């Protein structure tokens, strides 16, 4: 008799980790951090998401991009920014001649938070406690990569990197100094661009998004 293959097999380690904690990374490498994050139970989001969606890209990347949290498609694929927001982001990078393969892309929160509505899973913003719990992974990625530049997409990523007083619409597209010697800037989240009502508004929002990201072209080769 034919048996149906499960779409995704949860890593066994998830069940051995006490609630509110996560496995210790085996060493100081980015790979070990990624492996440990698979079993994270630092907040409750591990219960509903398919899997931890960790950052991806070269460990020596000069640029790190931080989004909010994986969406529906990212949750299923286990990779950041592969859905509609990711495609818009790729389009902006392509216009600017920036190769995404050279960029490390991650999120402030590594699990998808949603409410089921019929067959769709509606995105929900992570609450402050969930954002705080996930800082451990973002800080770990930053410590291991030491990127020259951090680009924040949207308010949640911006506050995680530049602090709670950061005003996205006031300070977007401006270089900010970071305490570790690096620098960064913020722009709107691509999902905000996609949510603009008419095609003119969407085009204007996209042009603003590309204009902010153009700061990346100022970097020395
Ligand atoms: N939105 C995000 O912030 N991150 C993703 O990975 C996908 C959509």
> Is residue 20 a part of any domain in this protein?
no
> Is residue 81 a part of any domain in this protein?
yes
| Res 7 pLDDT > 60 | no
69 touches ligand 1 (CB under 6 Å): yes
Span 96-109, pLDDT tens digits: 999 999 999 999 99
> Is residue 3 a part of any domain in this protein?
no
83 touches ligand 1 (CB under 6 Å): yes
| Res 49 pLDDT > 60 | yes
81 touches ligand 1 (CB under 6 Å): yes
> Is residue 47 a part of any domain in this protein?
yes
Span 175-220, pLDDT tens digits: 999 999 999 999 999 999 999 999 999 999 999 999 999 999 999 8
Span 120-150, pLDDT tens digits: 999 999 999 999 999 999 999 999 999 999 9
- Residue labelled with tokens 């990374």: 25
> Is residue 21 a part of any domain in this protein?
no
> Is residue 19 a part of any domain in this protein?
no
Of 143 and 221, more confident = 143
> Is residue 51 a part of any domain in this protein?
yes
> Is residue 93 a part of any domain in this protein?
yes
Q: How far apart are CA 199 and CA 158, in angstroms?
A: 27
Task: Report, as an integer, the average pLDDT of 163-171.
Answer: 98
The SS3 call for residue 7 is coil
How many domains does the chain fold into?
Answer: 1
35: closest CA among 10, 52, 59, 58?
A: 52
Residue 144: domain span: 30-216
CATH number at residue 110: 3.40.470.10
């Amino acid at each position: 008799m034919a048996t149906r293959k499960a779409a995704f097999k949860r890593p066994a380690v998830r069940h051995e980790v006490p609630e509110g904690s996560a496995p210790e990374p085996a060493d100081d490498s980015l790979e070990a951090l990624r492996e440990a994050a698979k079993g994270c139970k630092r907040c409750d989001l591990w219960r509903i998401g398919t899997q931890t969606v960790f950052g991806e890209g070269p460990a020596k990347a000069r640029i790190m991009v931080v989004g909010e949290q994986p969406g529906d498609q990212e949750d299923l694929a286990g990779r950041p920014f592969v859905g509609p927001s990711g495609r818009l982001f790729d389009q902006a990078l392509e216009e600017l001649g920036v190769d995404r393969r050279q960029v490390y892309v991650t999120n402030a929160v590594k699990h998808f938070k949603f409410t089921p509505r019929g067959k769709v899973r509606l995105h929900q913003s992570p609450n402050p406690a969930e954002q705080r719990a996930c800082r451990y992974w973002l800080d770990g990625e930053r410590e291991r990569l030491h990127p020259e530049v951090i680009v924040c997409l949207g308010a949640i990523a911006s506050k995680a990197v530049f602090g709670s007083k950061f005003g996205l619409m006031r300070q977007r597209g401006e270089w900010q100094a970071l305490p570790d010697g690096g620098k960064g800037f913020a722009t709107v989240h691509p999902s905000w661009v996609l949510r603009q009502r008419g095609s003119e508004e969407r085009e204007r929002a996209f042009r603003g998004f590309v204009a902010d990201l153009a700061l990346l072209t100022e970097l020395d080769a």
